[in-house]
Amino acid sequence: MTEPQAEVGRGESKERIYRRLRDWIIYSELSPGTALNERDLAEKLGISRTPLREVLQRLHYAGLVDWEPNKGIFVAPIDYLRIREIFEVRVALERTAVSLATARATSEQLDELEAILRQCCAAADTDDYGHFIALDAAFHAKIRDIADNSYLSMLTDNAHNVALRFWYVYRKTLSQTYRDTKNLQDVLDAMRDRDAARAAAAISAHVVGFLKAFHDQEIQALANVMHV
């Protein structure tokens, strides 16, 4: 396992520690199957074991950590079945989020979304694939923020994090096959036109296109079920 390099100061909030551990898992600083020692993690993060356990429970709920009775706590494995199940739910969540965001977005928020998209396109054009992945995630996060529904945001964020982790692990394979900025542009254009149905269709195509990069047969079955 690659030892996480980022330092965490004592007294950081549970939210910041959650995000830091989440990122260590997503970006493979804590690799799949790694055993998590609560005492060592608590010391490294500068917190007591009680709040750390709450963070680990949240990561477990998000599908990033597995608890095995009498064995311990482990970084969740990456497998295609888990990804397929996540995407079967994620399509509907993303459609709902972008529909709400289309109705609620201010002009300033749409401009912020456009700024993220410009950076995303630039990263794709310069083959900066790691940055492209992060900016794609920021685009989705901004839509969740605009949608302004905390429960939907939690569910969508959990589903997206599992997918993002899978994407990062296979980023070298995908770097030549998945750089979808066209559908993101379609999402933004539809949001500016206040066309929720068109925005939902575009975000569906973007999400489904990601899974298509892995398995054409599975994605066709998903597309048929989800009518996208």
Q: Which CATH number belongs to the domain containing residue 153 in this structure?
A: 1.20.120.530
Same domain, 141 and 200: yes
Q: What is the average pLDDT score of the chain?
A: 86
Same domain, 88 and 31: no
Q: Position of tokens 């482990």?
A: 74
CA atoms within 13 A on the CB side of 32: 10
Same domain, 169 and 185: yes
Where in the sequence is the domain holding 68, given as residue range(s)?
14-75
Question: Tens digit of pLDDT for each residue in 154-178?
Answer: 999 888 888 888 888 778 778 878 8
Q: Position of tokens 């969540």?
A: 93
The answer to whether residue 152 sits within a structural domain is yes
The answer to whether residue 25 sits within a structural domain is yes
The answer to whether residue 215 sits within a structural domain is yes
Same domain, 207 and 111: yes
- Token reading at 200: 């939902």
DSSP states along 162-180: HHHHHHHHTHHHHTTT---
Same domain, 119 and 188: yes
CB 144 within 8 A of CB 187: no
Same domain, 89 and 44: no
Distance CA 160, CA 136 (A): 11
Handedness of CA 103, 104, 108, 113 (dihedral sign): negative
Of 91-100, 193-202, 204-213, the one with minimum mean pLDDT is 204-213
Same domain, 50 and 152: no
The answer to whether residue 134 sits within a structural domain is yes
- DSSP helix/strand/coil, 38: helix
Q: Is the pLDDT of residue 7 over 50?
A: no
pTM comes to 0.76
What band does 102 get if pLDDT is binned at 50, 70 and 90?
Answer: very high
CB 132 within 8 A of CB 172: no
Q: Which CATH number belongs to the domain containing residue 54 in this structure?
A: 1.10.10.10
How many domains does one find in the chain?
Answer: 2
In terms of pLDDT, which residue wins out, 99 or 82? 99
Of 15-19, 73-77, 176-180, the one with minimum mean pLDDT is 176-180
Q: Of 116, 126, 131, 134, which is closest to residue 187 (Cα–Cα)?
A: 116
- Domain end residue (candidates: 38, 56, 75): 75
pLDDT computed for residue 172 by the predictor:
79
